[in-house]
Homo-oligomer: A and B are copies of this chain.
Amino acid sequence: MGALHEGHGALIRCAQKENDICIVSIFVNPAQFGPKEDFKRYPRTLEKDKGFLKRMKVDVLFLPSAKEMYPQGFESTVETGQLGRVLCGRSRPGHFNAVATVVIKLLNIVEPRTMVLGQKDAQQVIILKRIVADFDFKTRIRICPTERNTLGLALSSRNRYLNGRERLEALVLYRSLKEASARIKGKERSAQKITDGIRALIQRHTHGTIDYIACVDAATLQPLTMIKGRVMLALAVRFGKARLIDNMIVNAA
């Protein structure tokens, strides 16, 4: 969606390292924003993005218009099922259907051998893996770790909505995930205690409004009672205009 930052930079380097040609799409997809969401004010920094991509020696920039992507008469969408209705899908109804729809279009237009995605959008990653498998796309999915600033804040185009205080407070998100991860490694097995711990930290140290804090199965995104296997800790918290998400995968042996 553009407003490129070093998180995108890491995806590009990953793509370039493993492939001959690297194609970047920039498309602020209107369909995936809810009526009250930030489509209009979503940061658009196209000239800066172009310079960034040129310096990174990206081979192709695919920059379609909304009219090209959704011409008159367009009416098909993808229904992502249960995976799209939990976590971010609860507060963003239809969001993942629209993401899946535009990604199918991008896959068919670009025909990439590999699609590189960031782990920051963990639910999106799982849903797009599902879509690629369910619809038999031959594209491989490559996932890159979340890029963070030196203090641990996950890089996001929406971070530029944060004022100075919010930017400091938002550091608690990663801290709370790390602390929860340490407790799981220390044999805590109650999902409730883990999410309570994250909640307490965020409420104590920030003015943010918690959207969700979840401890789910990392494959199915279904909520856990007892922590077991590959677990995803995930959260979404609003700081003013910015709705920030972060997540961490923990292996509870």
Contact = CB atoms under 8 A, between A and B. Distances in A.
Interface string A68-100: 000001111111111100000000000001001
A193 interface: no
A105 B75 contact: no
Contacts of A101: 135
A100 B79 CA distance: 12
Given A105-B136, A136-B105, A136-B108, A79 B80 contact: no
B134 A75 contact: yes
A83 B131 CA distance: 23
Size bin of chain A's contact surface? 20 to 34
A130 interface: yes
Contacts of A74: 134
A39 interface: no
A76 B105 contact: no
29 contacts: A73-B130, A73-B133, A74-B134, A75-B80, A75-B83, A75-B130, A75-B134, A76-B78, A76-B79, A76-B80, A76-B81, A76-B100, A76-B131, A76-B134, A77-B78, A77-B81, A78-B78, A78-B79, A79-B79, A79-B97, A104-B135, A105-B134, A105-B135, A105-B136, A108-B135, A108-B136, A108-B137, A108-B138, A109-B136
